[in-house]
Structure 1
Amino acid sequence: MGTDIHCFVEQKMYRYAGLDDTGIWISIDKWTKSSWAILYSERNEEAPWVVEREDMIFKDRNYNLFAILANIRNSDQMPFISEPRGLPDDVSPEIRLQMKYGDYHSTTWFTAKELLEYNWDQVFEFEDETMDGKVFIDTVNYMECSRAFLDVVKRLVARENPSNMRLIITFDS
Structure 2
Amino acid sequence: MGCDIWSYAEVRTGGGWRWARNLFPDRADENDRDEVFPDFDYRLFGFLADVRNYSRSPVIASPRGLPGDVSLEVRVEHDAWGRDVHHASWLTLAELLGYDYDQVFWDRRVTRDGDGAALAAEGEGAHLTLRDFLGRRYFDRLAALSGLGDPADVRIVFWFDN
Instruction: Name stretches of at least 5 consecutive residues in structure 2 with no aligned partner.
Output: 23-29
Q: Kindly tell me the number of residue pairs found equivalent between the two proteins.
A: 144
Instruction: Tell me the equivalent position of 1:143.
Output: 131
Q: Is 1:54 the equivalent of 2:32?
A: yes
Residue type matched to 2:5 in 1? I
- 1:156 aligns to what? 145
What is the identity, as a one-letter code, of the residue corresponding to 1:54?
D
Evaluate the alpha carbon distance shift between residue 132 and residue 91 of structure 1 in structure 2; reply closer, same or farther with a 3 A threshold. closer
Q: Deviations over 1:41-100 (max 9, x none)?
A: xxxxxxxxxxx7422232122211111110000134322111211111111111112211
Residue 13 of structure 2 corresponds to 13
Residue aligned with 1:81, SS: coil
Provide the secondary structure at the position in 2 that maps to 1:163: helix
What's the TM-score once normalised by structure 1's chain length? Answer: 0.72
For the pair shown, the structure with the greater C-alpha radius of gyration is: 1
| SS of structure 1 residue aligned to 2:57 | coil
Where does residue 63 of structure 1 map in the other structure? 42
1:158–1:100 distance in 2 versus 1, CA, 3 Å: same
- The structural deviation recorded for 1:13 is 0.9
Match of 1:110 among 91, 103, 107: 91
Query: Where do 1:25-36 residues align within 5 Å?
Result: 25-30=17-22
Unaligned runs of 5+ in 1: 15-22, 31-51
Scaled by the length of structure 2, what TM-score is found?
0.77
- 1:75-114 to 2 correspondence within 5 Å? 75-102=54-81, 103-114=84-95
Structure-2 change in CA distance of 1:132 and 1:27 (3 Å): closer
